[in-house]
Amino acid sequence: MNSLKRIAGILWIVAALVAIWFLFSRASAELSGDKVDPSKQIFWYSILPVYVPLMLGLALFGWYALKGEYDKIAE
Amino acid sequence: MVSTSTDTAKRTDDHIKTGWGLMSVILASSVGTLIEWYDFYIYGTLAPYIAKHFFPAGNVTASYLAALGTFAAGFIVRPFGALFFGRLGDLIGRKYTFLVTLLLMGLSTFVIGLIPGYAQIGMAAPILILFLRLLQGLALGGEYGGAATYVAEHSPAHQRGYYTGYIQTTATVGLLISIAVILGTKGAVGEEPFNEWGWRLPFLISIVMVGISVYIRLKMQESPMFSKIKHSGKLSANPLKESFAKRDNLKMVLLALFGAVAGQGVIWYTGQFYAMSFMDKVCNLEFNSVRYILAVAIIFGTPFFLIFGSLSDKIGRKWIMMAGMLLGILTYRPIYQKMLDLSSVNKETVAEKSSVGSVATVDAATGDSTVVTTTVRTFVDGNTYKEVKTEKILADASKTAPKAEVKKTVWLSSGNWWFMAFLVFIQILYVTMVYGPIAAFLVELFPTRIRYTSMSLPYHIGNGIFGGLVPYIATFLVESSKTADKPSGDPLAGLFYPMIIAGVCLLIGILYMPARTDQTEHHED
């Protein structure tokens, strides 16, 4: 079980990085153009500073898992 | 025999841990939290009226402020409130901290009801409203953690899930009361006065409820666990640092967030708010009917917060929460497909009555005219559909007329109405599975000295950000699914967001979460 917990740690790190890439690519697609809807600007300028640190948190969670920090938690 | 202070404290503690003593603690805490949720929700429920009076559509700055009010208060400010008041609660105590949050919320709500509109004071109106909404978000961020911690620290360990279940009912019942007060006020003062000034009453009424709740809370004692560590000098000197800068605690904060609260947040917001928005905007159900359906589902669903809270005392918190997430992932699409089918207007029609409207108005200056066409159809299953189409015909034929406005309203037959309520009830049931045990789970994950701070942040990130974004991201996904071939897109595409978040959370929870947090002991306590 502990091996699985550690291996899955890589999955969380990759998932977090993919999510960050997805957020930036969608935001740049939505916000490019001559006339951008103000509500879209607010949406993305609110989402990015909030979601990117959260995804970094997921990556940190994955890192802790990979290092075996969660091995000792009681079953 | 001489009675010592220790004996007295023990007797008080025993009194609280049994019968009416404990129940009064729970009710006193729950009433305040309930009122905070009520205050927070009425702003959302009355958003169209607030927009009309404070954020005029033509004003770009006002539109920015309106959107900021929605995003900032719901998502960004709540975690800051959790940090600020959580720290305070771990330093000076639970009782005074959640008294402050209650006052802050109550006064902000009351003042919202007093602010003159944009027509009277211009841009000062939306700025003031935004400021007060931010204060509401801050207060909510501090309230929940305090109330959950306070009740949990009074409860016997083997019944912590059951007793904190009362606090868990407050978010849903708060929504129910906000709907009831708004519908009641609307009914009492009438449609037109409500649009003009009656919408302010639900905000103003709040001050009475807050006053009663503050009075009750002032009479409450400090949490026994907090008092114990305070007297033994074991309080944390810097709860923020201890919570988030120490690896041993930070890893538990991350586990709480990604292994439980994020999934709980999306299940909650999908079952309660996305369901409402889906019935309003996609199914086009009549406004009051949607509120009544939700109210019925909540009334039948609310006891299950206590049932699942109590069950979690017997079999552990983890698997009940995981089961709620799994059921959501597996059944959301069929449930929402059925909701669409029930309200579909592509059925066999038994009666159709159209009144090709006469010219409603003619603009004397331009000669433009407006034609209103109303079509009413009754379907074989008893549903009724009304479509009001408003078209502008320009006198100058060389100009392009604006797109016609179409307002669609569906009234469900009695059988379909109850079926719809049942489908929403199932979703509320999932909410009770994930939300019922979570207060006890979070409390048990962290030691008393930093509990308020440590549990409040993941709770408000999970619910405020992951959960709170459900309606916006879901709408974004539906819009993104629209193509030239399929202009209406996939109305169920929005469900992918809660399903993915709940899926990730489920996997993390199953893999890493301890099975019995209720058997965890924090030794420094």
Transcribe B151-214 into DSSP letters.
Answer: HHHHS-GGGHHHHHHHHHHHHHHHHHHHHHHHHHHHHHH-HHHHHHTGGGHHHHHHHHHHHHHH
Most confident of B19-23, B356-360, B394-398, B488-492: B488-492
- Cβ-Cβ contacts under 8 Å, B461 against chain A: 54
Cross-chain Cβ contact B472/A65 below 8 Å: no
pLDDT, mean of residues B458-477: 87
**CA angle, B457 then B165 then B209, to 5°:** 80
Biggest alpha carbon distance in chain B? 103
**Cβ(B35)–Cβ(B215) below 8 Å:** no
CB pairs under 8 A between A and B: 66
Whether the pLDDT of residue A55 is over 60: the answer is yes
Q: Pairing relation of β-strands B359-362 and B405-411?
A: unpaired
Cross-chain Cβ contact B511/A8 below 8 Å: yes
Residue B504: which of A12, A26, A52 has the closest Cα?
A12
Residue B370 CB-density burial (10 A; 0-12 exposed, 13-18 middle, 19+ buried): middle
**A64 to chain B nearest CA, in Å?**
7
Banded model confidence at residue B520, pLDDT cuts 50, 70, 90:
low
**A46 to chain B nearest CA, in Å?**
7
Q: Pairing relation of β-strands B405-411 and B369-379?
A: unpaired
Question: Cα B88 vs. chain centroid, distance in angstroms?
Answer: 24
pLDDT, mean of residues B483-488: 83
More confident residue, B23 or B497: B497
Out of B472, B508, B520, name the one closest to residue A43 (CB).
B472
Bridge partners for B405 per DSSP: B390
- pLDDT score for B273: 87
ipTM for the predicted complex = 0.93
**Cβ(B442)–Cβ(B513) below 8 Å:** no
- Cβ-Cβ contacts under 8 Å, B64 against chain A: 38, 42
Out of A15, A38, A61, name the one closest to residue B64 (CB).
A38
State how far the Cα of B44 lies from the Cα of B49, in Å rounded to an integer.
Answer: 10
**Cβ(B359)–Cβ(B369) below 8 Å:** yes
Whether the pLDDT of residue A60 is over 80: the answer is yes
Q: B57-71: per-residue pLDDT in tens?
A: 666 667 666 766 666
- pLDDT score for B524: 55
**Cβ(A20)–Cβ(A57) below 8 Å:** no
Q: Which residue on chain A is closest to B244 by alpha carbon?
A: A57
Cross-chain Cβ contact B515/A75 below 8 Å: yes
Q: B426-463: per-residue pLDDT in tens?
A: 999 999 999 999 999 999 999 888 988 999 999 999 98
Dig out the tokens for B158 from the structure.
């083997």
* Chain A CB within 8 Å of residue B505 CB: no
From chain B residues 237-256, the ones with a CB under 8 A of any chain A CB are 247, 251, 254-255
State how far the Cα of A66 lies from the Cα of A11, in Å rounded to an integer.
Answer: 10
Cross-chain Cβ contact A70/B72 below 8 Å: no
**A34 to chain B nearest CA, in Å?**
17
Best to test chain B binding among A1, A7, A54, A67 (most B CBs inside 10 Å): A54
> What does DSSP assign to residue B76?
I
More confident residue, B432 or B224: B432
pLDDT, mean of residues B38-48: 83
Residue A4 CB-density burial (10 A; 0-12 exposed, 13-18 middle, 19+ buried): exposed
* Chain A CB within 8 Å of residue B63 CB: yes
Whether the pLDDT of residue B353 is over 70: the answer is no
Out of A43, A50, A75, name the one closest to residue B465 (CB).
A50
Whether the pLDDT of residue A23 is over 50: the answer is yes
Q: Pairing relation of β-strands B405-411 and B384-393?
A: antiparallel
Banded model confidence at residue A13, pLDDT cuts 50, 70, 90:
very high
Integer-rounded Cα Rg, in Å, for chain A is 17
Cross-chain Cβ contact A75/B251 below 8 Å: no
- pLDDT score for B2: 39
Helix (H, G, I), strand (E, B) or coil at B384: strand
What's at B55, amino acid-wise?
F
Q: Which residue on chain B is closest to A39 by alpha carbon?
A: B67
What percent of chain B shows pLDDT beyond 70? Answer: 90
N-term to C-term CA, chain A: 10
Q: What are phi and psi of B328, to 5 degrees?
A: -60, -50
pTM over 0.90: no
* Chain A CB within 8 Å of residue B257 CB: yes
Out of B72, B504, B512, name the one closest to residue A65 (CB).
B512
Whether the pLDDT of residue B380 is over 90: the answer is no
Query: Could you give the C-alpha distances from B495 to B475, B477, B483, in angstroms and in order?
Result: 9, 9, 18
Banded model confidence at residue B358, pLDDT cuts 50, 70, 90:
low
Q: Would you state the torsion angle of the CA atoms of residues B292, B297, B298, B301, taken in this order, to the nearest 10 degrees?
A: 160
- pLDDT score for B6: 45
Bridge partners for B384 per DSSP: B378, B411
State how far the Cα of B453 lies from the Cα of B238, in Å rounded to an integer.
Answer: 10
Q: Per this entry, what is the length of chain B?
A: 525
Best to test chain B binding among A7, A35, A46 (most B CBs inside 10 Å): A46
User: In b/e form, how buried is each residue of B251-282, taking b as 16+ CB within 10 angstroms?
Assistant: bbbbbbbbbbbbbbbbbbbbbbbbbbbbbeeb
- Cβ-Cβ contacts under 8 Å, A50 against chain B: 75-76, 465
Banded model confidence at residue B357, pLDDT cuts 50, 70, 90:
low
